Amino acid sequence: MAGATDSDLKQLPLHDLHVELGGKMVPFAGYAMAVQYPMGVMKEHQHCRASAGLFDVSHMGQVVLRGGGVALALETLIPQDVAGLPEGRQRYGFFTNEQGGLLDDLMFANRGDHIFMVVNAACKAADLAHLRAGLPDAVQVDEITDRALLALQGPMAESVLATLNPAVAEMAFMDVATLDLNGAEAWISRSGYTGEDGYEISVPKDAADALARALLADDRVAPIGLGARDSLRLEGGLCLYGHDINTATTPVEAGLNWAIQKIRRSGGARAGGFPGADVILDQLANGAACKRVGLRPQGRAPMREGVEVFAAPEGGDPIGRITSGGFGPTVEGPVAMGYIPADMAAPDITVYGELRGKRLPLTVAKLPFTPANFKR
Amino acid sequence: MKFTEDHEWLSLDGDIVTVGITEHAATALGDVVFVELPEVGTMVSKGDEIVVIESVKAASDITAPVDGEIIEVNEAIVDAPSKVNEDPLGDAWFFKVKVDDAGDYNAYLDEDAYADLIG
């Protein structure tokens, strides 16, 4: 397969394990990654929803920010409440640009004397430069390159991980903790990107292989590739950066209002003060012209990224486009997300996607397509 | 049975050619979730894209390997696309073409040559 032997592709710390497990390696964000294992995308997806799946997400950027005033300083780059985040808690956030667009989405955690951040692989170099340019000299920005990042997701994730350390069961959704796992110091958060309960686990590279094997030794755990990771997050209604969100989409258009806490909005104690605040605060108050919605093809044909959306079965200009789409194994049918005008963004409205020259009906649907299964 | 370089198989019975995809193709595609077949009665020419097949990963086309008229399509794989992964060389055939000339059929790869191709 193309690219699998490209010499300029970087290898993940668990590369040998992926190959040993029969992973089909493809290039992704500059890394050789497993798109699927012999189980196949469909069964991997179903296994994660029913039991537990292990994902290697070591390609993502891990960043530590430390120094006096780091929380307030970070608030100049992201519209989240950083200063009010208690120690041991994590939040979803995003870097914005001056136009109110999204530079990347991320997770950040208050780990006491520092903030730990996880960013997308394709954006990490730009994110690091953005942090270094935007934060005062008193804040130290360090990329963590000596740790792997694993995710264990699914309804059995808690009972599986608890066999290595029972303390993980005490964590609530979006809690973070430093705990021993299999003899290694793990930075654990109870979070993920599948819509399922689970954990994201940062461990020293040299301990990652043993930890992954210890988890896979449990019959309830199967390795999950990029293919199922994508269908899981799509059913979960979660944005994929570079597809559903980018520099031309604002958080309000993307339906990410919930991730901007009141204290950063108009009337809040620390309102604004982040790039693009004028645009974003105005849209929070008055709405945006278009909105990200769920779209369910009424027929069986999947509609994927790039399909243009129309208001009527014939004529007219496109009103929007699909940004992610495919087959949802849990939904047992095609699912998609895309942007359409806000005045049409109501559940059960029918719009039309143009596929291979034919306009096929899509129903505007609430997200997520599958209910979130978080342990609040 | 004959094979194309595009991983279709063909079998000939009189002047009827039955077409499906190979095990190799089904495995490479991954779980098939959607199949769109041509209408019975359609006249097709070699190379026409007449079937759309979608897996969890991507959409692909299947082309007509011979000239002729579509006389039957396999609705069972439209209703249950996973059959394509389960039995690509048997129950999950795609369509049958009535040909004027079996010459096209004979020009395709035999089993050994196809095995070498996918090596």
Q: What does the block give as tokens for A332? A: 């047992």
What is the spatial distance between Cα B9 and Cα B4, in angstroms, rounded to a whole number? 6
User: Average pLDDT for residues A289-296, to the nearest whole number?
Assistant: 98
Give the tens place of pLDDT for each residue, A124-145. Answer: 999 999 999 999 999 999 999 9
From chain B, pick out residues whose CB is under 8 angstroms from the CB of A327: 31, 33-34, 54, 56
> Sign of the CA dihedral A47, A48, A52, A55?
positive
pLDDT bucket at A5, cuts 50 / 70 / 90: low
CB-defined contacts A:B, below 8 A: 41
Show the domains of chain A with their CATH numbers: 10-55+146-235 (3.30.1360.120), 289-376 (2.40.30.110)
Tell me: pLDDT of B119 over 90.
no
C-beta of residue A266 within 8 angstroms of C-beta of residue A227: no
Show the domains of chain B with their CATH numbers: 2-118 (2.40.50.100)
- Interface probe for B, chosen from A224, A300, A332 (most Cβ of B below 10 Å), is A300
Tell me: pLDDT of A324 over 90.
yes
Decide: helix, strand or coil at residue A216.
helix
Torsion of Cα atoms, A92 then A97 then A102 then A107, to 10°: -20
C-beta of residue A226 within 8 angstroms of C-beta of residue A26: yes
Q: Give the 3-state secondary structure of A256-272.
A: CHHHCCHHHCCCCCCCC
Give the tens place of pLDDT for each residue, A185-200. Answer: 999 999 999 999 999 9
Contact A231 B30 (CB under 8 A): no
Q: What is the pLDDT of residue A375?
A: 85
Give the tens place of pLDDT for each residue, A212-259. Answer: 999 999 999 999 999 999 999 999 999 999 999 999 999 999 999 999
Quote the percentage of chain A above a pLDDT of 90: 97
C-beta of residue A86 within 8 angstroms of C-beta of residue A110: yes
Q: What is the pLDDT of residue B29?
A: 92
User: Average pLDDT for residues A82-89, to the nearest whole number?
Assistant: 98
Q: What is the pLDDT of residue B104?
A: 86
pLDDT bucket at A60, cuts 50 / 70 / 90: very high
C-beta of residue A143 within 8 angstroms of C-beta of residue A128: yes
Residue B31 has its nearest CB partner, among A35, A40, A334, at: A40
- First-residue to last-residue Cα distance in chain B: 18
> Sign of the CA dihedral A12, A14, A20, A24?
negative
What is the spatial distance between Cα A235 and Cα B76, in angstroms, rounded to a whole number? 27
User: Average pLDDT for residues A31-51, to the nearest whole number?
Assistant: 97
What is the spatial distance between Cα A272 and Cα A287, in angstroms, rounded to a whole number? 17
Q: If you measure CA to CA, which chain B residue comes closest to A24? A: B28
Tell me: pLDDT of A2 over 50.
no
C-beta of residue A245 within 8 angstroms of C-beta of residue A254: yes
Tell me: pLDDT of A287 over 50.
yes
Tell me: pLDDT of A4 over 50.
no
Residue B30 has its nearest CB partner, among A36, A302, A334, at: A36
Give the tens place of pLDDT for each residue, A154-207. Answer: 999 999 999 999 999 999 999 999 999 999 999 999 999 999 999 999 999 999
Q: What is the pLDDT of residue A7?
A: 66
Decide: residue A97, CB within 10 A, 0-12 exposed, 13-18 middle, 19+ buried.
middle
Tell me: pLDDT of A261 over 60.
yes
Q: What is the pLDDT of residue B102?
A: 86
User: Average pLDDT for residues A14-26, to the nearest whole number?
Assistant: 97
C-beta of residue A141 within 8 angstroms of C-beta of residue A65: yes
Tell me: pLDDT of A1 over 50.
no
Q: What is the pLDDT of residue A8?
A: 82
Q: What is the pLDDT of residue A3?
A: 43
Contact A334 B31 (CB under 8 A): no
Complete DSSP assignment for B6-72: TSEEEEEETTEEEEEE-HHHHHHH-SEEEEE-PPTT-EE-TT-EEEEEEESS-EEEEE-SS-EEEEE
Q: What is the pLDDT of residue A6?
A: 54
C-beta of residue A73 within 8 angstroms of C-beta of residue A272: no
What is the spatial distance between Cα B26 and Cα B21, in angstroms, rounded to a whole number? 7
Indicate the DSSP class of residue A372.
-
Report chain A's mean pLDDT, rounded to a whole number. 96
Contacts of B118 (CB under 8 A, 6+ apart): B7, B22, B24
Tell me: pLDDT of B115 over 90.
yes
Please give the model's pTM, rounded to 2 decimal places. 0.93
C-beta of residue B61 within 8 angstroms of C-beta of residue B49: yes
Contact B34 A327 (CB under 8 A): yes
